[in-house]
Amino acid sequence: MASKFSRMAQLGALTTRVSSSYLGNKVAGMFQGEDARKASLDRTHEENATRIVANLGSLKGAAMKVGQAIAQVADGYGLPEEARAALGKLHDKAEPVPFETVKRRIEAELSGDLDTLFARFDREPLGTASLGQAHAARLPDGTEVVVKVLHEGIDGSVHSDLSALRAMLTAGRVLRRPKEEVDAIFQEIEERLEEELDYRREAANLTLFRNFFKTEPNVTIPLVHEGWSTGRVLTMERLAGVPLPVFVANSTPAARQLAGVTLGRAFLRMQYELRAIHADPHPGNYLFTPDGRVGILDFGCVRRLELEWIADYGECGLAAQDDDRERLMGAAVRIRALTRRGDTAAESVLWDLCQAMGTPFRRGGPYTMGSDSDDIQDRITALVPRLIGSSALRSPHELVFLHRGLGGVYQILKQLKARADWGGIFEDVALRCLADRDRARAALHHM
């Protein structure tokens, strides 16, 4: 891991270079025609995106996670295709940390010798990501576990890395949204990343979700072994199962169907009942057993949702089900997605967006994710220019990780070809959420 000062110097030099390139492009554009000016700006976007990706890839750590987060939510914020494509190449993998470094860190955190703390500890990691590294191990009582170890020196880099990337992406208005919206996006990402650096918080998240799903036989959440966990080391149960590609290739249609319906329903229940979502839906964070049960991993990134806000968000979906445009617009104002009523163009594109997103949740029977007729992604992509161009529309900060989660689960369900009455499942959980809100309001009124 690069030192704090070398990281700052590298990111500072990159920020200056990116900003200067846009300034030079603007000056040159004064002497060019419209087509030449646009072509030049496109080249500048592509060159700068490539520079940013190369630097984030070499820095790893928080810089890499920030770049990934921006790439995953980029569609709704006007990031140019060239920059989107380059950032999309970022992956959450890193060179393994030497075993002796990991051993030293664990022994310091757990105040003991590694050979005494564990009956077995594999020297080769299960995986190394930008923030930490995971190893298989066995506790003295024979329990098979996974041990996550936070990389050294990463704790203080989130804010500086995020500030540098924000400066790069706001140079030349690469993110074509109002400043206050961009600031809220970056603040949201920073808060979630800071939480990921505290394994005590992740342990609490694991316990919360494990208790929530304790009566669901097809969902498994790892048990935390608190005696072997600190803020920088997290020891948890090792779950059975295989990754998504192996499961898709080798499972029966019935198992894939069970897994898809289980995962889809689980996410909707998180959203509307628990009001805390697993917000890092990378396929690698799920394991599948041969019969279709689902194990969910990595609860460092969790987005909690206020009851009033998520109830109004659910009301948008219920209004779309009912083709009730007026009700939907009222709820959109309350969740801060629509800043004012009466802007016909803004309300039109918002309605079209909700209709597209709500396609699987219409009433009238089952819908198959990933079927030949599933064109949701194309329809949403086609709406992006109109969404970005509207001054009356905003992306509330709550949506950054909510839509990241929804989008990630949708991509998995497409691979599973999951078929269900999604409209019925959604309506059930959303109506119960609205009932919870009404009860909370009534209780407050009678205080």
Most confident range (mean pLDDT) of 49-63, 123-137, 250-264 is 250-264
DSSP 3-22: -HHHHHHHHHHHHHHHHHHH
pLDDT band of residue 5 (cuts 50, 70, 90) is very low
Residue carrying the six token digits 């921006």: 70
pLDDT in tens, 46-67: 666 666 655 555 555 666 666 6
Q: Is the dihedral of CA 287, 289, 291, 295 positive or negative?
A: negative
Q: In this structure, are residues 219 and 213 in contact, taking their beta carbons and an 8 Å threshold? A: yes
Give the per-residue pLDDT at 69: 65
Instruction: Note the helical H segments in 197-306.
Output: 199-212, 244-250, 253-269
Using the predicted structure, report yes or no on whether residue 19 has a pLDDT greater than 70: no
Give the per-residue pLDDT at 71: 65
Helix (H) or strand (E) holding 420: strand 419-420
Q: In this structure, are residues 202 and 224 in contact, taking their beta carbons and an 8 Å threshold? A: no
Q: What is the DSSP letter of 296?
A: E
Give the per-residue pLDDT at 110: 98
Report the candidate in 238, 150, 152, 160 with the shortest Cα–Cα distance to residue 195.
Answer: 150
Q: Is the dihedral of CA 186, 190, 192, 196 positive or negative?
A: positive
Q: Does residue 113 carry a catalytic annotation? A: no
Q: What is the pTM of this model?
A: 0.84
Report the candidate in 393, 225, 219 with the shortest Cα–Cα distance to residue 294.
Answer: 219
Lowest mean pLDDT among 45-49, 151-155, 291-295: 45-49
Lowest mean pLDDT among 196-210, 257-271, 304-318, 371-385: 371-385
Q: Where along the chain do its domains lie?
A: 4-94+154-196, 240-447
Strands 144-150 and 132-138: antiparallel
Q: Out of 75, 161, 280, 312, which one is annotated catalytic?
A: 280
Q: In this structure, are residues 118 and 139 in contact, taking their beta carbons and an 8 Å threshold? A: yes
Lowest mean pLDDT among 100-114, 177-191, 253-267: 177-191
Question: What percentage of residues in the chain have a pLDDT greater than 70?
Answer: 76
